[in-house]
Structure 1
Amino acid sequence: MPGVRREGLSATLRGVKLYADRVPVALRQLVTDILVVIWVYLWIKVALWIHDVVEKLAVPGQKLESAGSGIADNLADAGGKVGRVPLVGDELTQPFNGAADAARSIADAGHQQQEFVAQLALILPALALSVPLALVLFLWLPLRLRWVRRAGVAAAVRADPAGQDLLALRALASQPLTELAKLGPDIAQSWRAGDPDAVAALAGLELRRLGLRRR
């Protein structure tokens, strides 16, 4: 069983065709792939920059929380000392306690502002990345994978007579009439008759469309 799996994996890898045989097509594919990688990389950098910029908005909230907490602690400490005054201590502590509560409210507002900025620092970069990544995942990648699949199958069968017949059939079904007409007005009839020259010409037309050479 392991040997069968290895043979199946090797056959799968042999059937994978990442780039065309013809130099102009292969060069265009390579340049496009590089540009897509650069496109994604630049948008990731933009998203990270947005994250860093938004996170700086949390600095005022940090200062507000720190100042509010410090004032509240000082007022609570002062109220505790005043509260030790005989007879009037309880009455004197009330203003300090009220001011300390107000300072804690300011500290809470600063903390909430930091939480809001933290959420914003996640949402905005995600929104910035969503459209570029959607273009790559739903437009470029399906087209690229479809070519890889079709080219891999075509490359695997192009040397086999039955495979050439399939390629010829594919050319008759998908090639423009102007391209088929260049092979002769009776190309379809010749293919139906099993003419090897017609089959080879049609197969070559389909291979050329995929950027592959005959083998």
Structure 2
Amino acid sequence: MGLYARRPARFAAQLTVDVLVLAWGVFWALAGRFIDATIGSVATPLRRASSSASDLSGQFRSAGSEMSRVPGVGDNLRKPFDNAAESLTQIMTSLNDQIISVERIADLVGWLVFLIPVSIVVAFWLPRRIRFYRLSRAAQRFIDAQADLDLFALRALANQPMHVLAGISDDPVADWRRGDPAVVHRLADAELRRAGLRLPARMHED
């Protein structure tokens, strides 16, 4: 499908890099979840305090209701209990707000711990993989269409580094113009190597 090179060494290198990128993502995903859980654990005592405040508030309200039944002075006896219950309700509300803030911070930091290192790696890795895929697919289409070796040789002259061309011929342009089969073959092979492909059997025969 053009995702990986058909040359063993290039294929092994690509697969290794892809596995490392995947492992990198999994590592930081786990790290993000750990950081999220660690920061989120700060909210545990706040939840307990909020639950205790809620229970006490309910108890004070129940006690106030009992006090209100005392003839003559019931309303006066109930008032301190209601005030205490109201104060505990306000404390519970404040604690719940803090719990929400802690959970949001934990989620945010957890995502940042995951996204920042993974995004940096993916920003370098993904464009290279996309370029290779497009190059390999395009080259394969030419091979499937039985394009002449000269096409790949010409591409090699335009794209290959000077030291690669020098290793093929002292004057690769002149040899290509003369149609030197050995030079054309080596130039085409160098270009297809860049796309992770091999010369098909029919081209070897040429």
Q: CA deviation at 1:74?
A: 1.1
Q: Is the 8 A contact 1:63 1:110 kept in 2?
A: no
1:19 aligns with 4
1:12 aligns with none
* 80 and 202 in structure 1: CA distance in 2 versus 1, 3 angstrom threshold: same
Counterpart check, 1:151 vs 2:136: yes
Q: Is the 8 A contact 1:75 1:99 kept in 2?
A: yes
Equivalenced residue count is 200
Counting only pairs closer than 5 Å after superposition, residues 15-54 of structure 1 correspond to structure 2 as: 16-54=1-39
Q: Is the 8 A contact 2:176 2:183 kept in 1?
A: yes
Secondary structure of the 1:91 match is helix
Cα deviation code 1:132-179 (max 9, x no counterpart): 321243210110121122123223424766353332222112211122
Letter in 1 for 2:28: W
Counting only pairs closer than 5 Å after superposition, residues 21-170 of structure 1 correspond to structure 2 as: 21-158=6-143, 162-170=147-155
**Structure 2 residue ranges without an equivalent (≥5):** 201-206
2:167 aligns with 182
Letter in 2 for 1:137: V
Letter in 2 for 1:171: A
Distance (whole Å) between structure 2 residues aligned to residue 148 and residue 125 of structure 1: 33
Distance (whole Å) between structure 2 residues aligned to residue 159 and residue 83 of structure 1: 93
- Percent of residue pairs bearing the same amino acid type: 36
Q: Is the 8 A contact 1:183 1:201 kept in 2?
A: yes
Distance (whole Å) between structure 2 residues aligned to residue 164 and residue 58 of structure 1: 68
Q: CA deviation at 1:109?
A: 1.8
Distance (whole Å) between structure 2 residues aligned to residue 52 and residue 205 of structure 1: 52
Q: Is the 8 A contact 1:191 1:198 kept in 2?
A: yes
Distance (whole Å) between structure 1 residues aligned to residue 54 and residue 11 of structure 2: 64
The two structures have a TM-score, normalised by structure 1, of: 0.82
Distance (whole Å) between structure 1 residues aligned to residue 118 and residue 197 of structure 2: 30
Distance (whole Å) between structure 2 residues aligned to residue 59 and residue 91 of structure 1: 38
Letter in 2 for 1:24: A
Letter in 2 for 1:154: A
RMSD across aligned C-alpha pairs, in angstroms? Answer: 2.1
**4+ residue runs of structure 1 moved beyond 6 angstroms?**
none
Secondary structure of the 1:182 match is helix
Larger mean CA deviation between 135-144 and 66-75 belongs to 135-144
1:207 aligns with 192
Distance (whole Å) between structure 2 residues aligned to residue 131 and residue 169 of structure 1: 42
Distance (whole Å) between structure 2 residues aligned to residue 205 and residue 91 of structure 1: 97
